[in-house]
Amino acid sequence: MSKHIGIFGGSFDPPHFGHLALMSAAREQLGLDQLRVIPTGHAWQKLRTLTPARHRLVMVELAIAGMAPWAVVDALETERKGPSYMIDTIDALRKETGDAKLTLILGEDQFANLRTWHRWEDLAMLVRFAVAGRPGSERSAGSPANDPRVHHVRLAMEPMDLSSTQLRKMAAAGETLNGLVPPTVAQYIALNHLYKEQKH
């Protein structure tokens, strides 16, 4: 029987308890054999510069330590040159995992923008999407959910009003991130003075 692998991509700048809640929901509801957590390399749709990949990879490692070995960090995108297109990531994973079933986990806001992704129609042929709601996200008539080519399931979970943007602003202002990110991640951010000089 082929494996069922979940793919969870993002900038993870920084990773927070909202990300972990989504991972846990995916594990419980999708019956995944493994979750690949893939920090973005070059985020071509973001205007700001991401925190260096080495820091984001360590923060994700720290955040998911309690989920190992089921959840693993994959540096695939940070090691690849050029824009981080999900279709390229899935093509690489397909070569590595053979006939494994691949489910791409994402938030409602990202799912709503699916048609802006590079080669999204090709991507939709290779993966199923598992979508989690976010505060303020609405399903419109033009949602990819209404496209028969886009196979998707909904993850039942309470939306968390928590974003990495909010956490970067808090860290820049010297506010504590306790209770919002794992303690090891908060400590890493403080020790490495992350987000202090960044514009948001």
pLDDT digits (tens, 9 = 90+) for 52-108: 999 999 999 999 999 999 999 999 999 999 889 999 999 999 999 999 999 999 988
Domain locations along the chain: 4-161
Q: Which two tokens stand for residue 21?
A: 């809640």
Mean pLDDT across the chain = 91
Q: pLDDT band for 43, please (50, 70, 90 cuts).
A: confident
Please check whether the domain covering 4-161 is classified as CATH 3.40.50.620.
yes
